[in-house]
Amino acid sequence: MSFKKLFALSVTGGAAFWLTDFAMSLSPIAANYKAAFSISYIPLAIAEALTRGVIVSFCVSYILLRFFDRIPTKNTILKSVILSLISLAAIEILSTSVNPGNALVYHIIDTIINLPRFLALGIVTGLLLRWMLKNGLLSPK
């Protein structure tokens, strides 16, 4: 596995996650959500979202490159989206287990708000991987 390819996939997916987060943060729904949970705009949109996006994208990209043939589809975008949705589910399950006092409604709302971010991450990572494979920069195992 090439670390340059892993780095490129991770940064691109993280950027897609962050851009989606930034675009969503401008909506009135996000303003109400941030106000309800006392979330300030600057740390969320600039540092935390970018860091979370790159970390999740690194995990998705690593698993995608490492287990490419074992993911049950031929479509690189679908493979990447499947992995990003699995990571969303894992994060939500961990969040629930760490803080079980939060109502189920909050976790459902949080999942719905996070869904576009994780979809963007998966789609962009899959598109870049498809481009790498098509141009011979990466060979399937």
In this prediction the pTM is: 0.86
3-class SS shares of the chain: helix, strand, coil, % to 5: 80, 0, 20
What angle is formed at CA 122 by the lines to CA 86 and CA 112, rounded to 5 degrees? 60
Asked if 53 contacts 120 with a C-beta cutoff of 8 angstroms, the reply is no
- Residue at 47 is within a domain: yes
Give the per-residue pLDDT at 138: 80
Domain encompassing residue 92: 3-134
Packing angle, helices 104-134 and 49-66, rounded to 10: 50
Confidence at residue 43, expressed as pLDDT on a 0 to 100 scale: 61
CB 78 within 8 A of CB 16: no
Low-confidence ranges of the chain (pLDDT < 70): 1, 37-45, 99-103, 140-141
* Predicted local distance difference test score (pLDDT) of residue 61: 96
- Looking up tokens 């995990």 gives 59
Q: Per residue in 1-21, is it b (16+ CB within 10 Å) or e — as a string?
A: eeeebbebbbbbbbbbbbbbb
Q: Is residue 140 part of a domain?
A: no
Contacts 24+ apart (CB under 8 A), 90-95: 91/56
In a domain? residue 25: yes
Residue 139 belongs to a domain = no
Q: How many domains does the chain have?
A: 1
